[in-house]
Amino acid sequence: ETGVTQSPTHLIKTRGQQVTLRCSSQSGHNTVSWYQQALGQGPQFIFQYYREEENGRGNFPPRFSGLQFPNYSSELNVNALELDDSALYLCASSSGGYSSRHTDTQYFGPGTRLTVL
Amino acid sequence: KQEVTQIPAALSVPEGENLVLNCSFTDSAIYNLQWFRQDPGKGLTSLLLIQSSQREQTSGRLNASLDKSSGRSTLYIAASQPGDSATYLCAVEYGNKLVFGAGTILRVKS
């Protein structure tokens, strides 16, 4: 059984650019959640995808968007990057989701470190 | 507003000490509460998960308790070791999202 994987590990972008981060969920999981962790803070919920549809969103602007694919892998896209977007982006996969309003235990990937200059 | 607070923000103890990390949450309508460990620059490792109907969970030297009515959880680490040095995060599940505290940075000195 493979765990949650994320790519790339590290990324450096400049203000105004766009970025795409990728996540492969754990085998058997149909739900992916994304979190942003700024330095010295706890992770903040961005959004969740269940069976290719957005299933809840945190307090993030529309320039943060996502996709989930039929194999349940997911992408996080951020447009018009700002300096404050510099953070560790964590992906978590789980089973359950929309139909139960609550997912089973979320398993986290190693994260992507994004630096915006 | 759903908020999670962790106290203390940082803790430094000599090896072998028993210690307690505290977590409080404002909204008691939780599904479960989870404690994570995070090493510098790394992802999250789940330590213990307590369902809302449970009072505590144990794994090895770790014991976590939950008092939903008072909005509190504690993580007890027995006989601390230098390898326990990390950031410990408390997360409360509300529906489909986890709300995290800012963490407690633990340093165990040898």
Instruction: Give me Rg for the CA atoms of chain B.
Output: 13
Cβ atoms of B107 and B85 closer than 8 Å:
yes
Give A113's contacts in chain B (Cβ within 8 Å): 41
- Minimum Cα–Cα distance from A94: chain B residue: B96
The model's pLDDT over A64-86, given as tens digits with 9 standing for 90+, comes to 999 999 999 999 999 999 999 99
What is the maximum alpha-carbon separation in chain B? 41
Give B100's contacts in chain A (Cβ within 8 Å): 35, 42-44
The model's pLDDT over B44-91, given as tens digits with 9 standing for 90+, comes to 999 999 989 999 999 999 999 999 999 999 999 999 999 999 999 999
Three-state DSSP at B83 gives helix
The model's pLDDT over A14-62, given as tens digits with 9 standing for 90+, comes to 999 999 999 999 888 889 999 999 999 999 999 999 889 998 999 999 9
Which of A66, A14, A24, A28 lies closest to A45 in space, CA to CA? A66
Which among A31, A50, A108 is the nearest to B44, CB-wise? A108
Q: Which of A101-105, A113-117, B50-54 has the lowest mean pLDDT?
A: A101-105
Q: What distance in Å separates residue A49's CA from the closest CA in chain B?
A: 10
Distance CA B90, CA B4 (A): 8
Write down the pLDDT at residue A111.
Answer: 96
| Interface contact A42-B102, CB threshold 8 A | yes
First to last CA, chain B: 41
Which among A58, A105, A111 is the nearest to B43, CB-wise? A111
Q: Does A58 touch chain B (CB under 8 A)?
A: yes
Those of residues 78-117 in A touching chain B at CB distance below 8 A are 88, 90, 92, 97-98, 101-103, 105-111, 113
How many inter-chain contacts (A to B, CB under 8 Å) are there? 62
Tell me the pLDDT band of A99, cut-offs 50, 70 and 90: very low
Q: What distance in Å separates residue B43's CA from the closest CA in chain A?
A: 4
Q: Does A43 touch chain B (CB under 8 A)?
A: yes
Which of B48, B30, B31, B47 lies closest to B39 in space, CA to CA? B47
Model confidence at B96: pLDDT above 90: no
Write down the pLDDT at residue B103.
Answer: 97
| Interface contact A113-B93, CB threshold 8 A | no
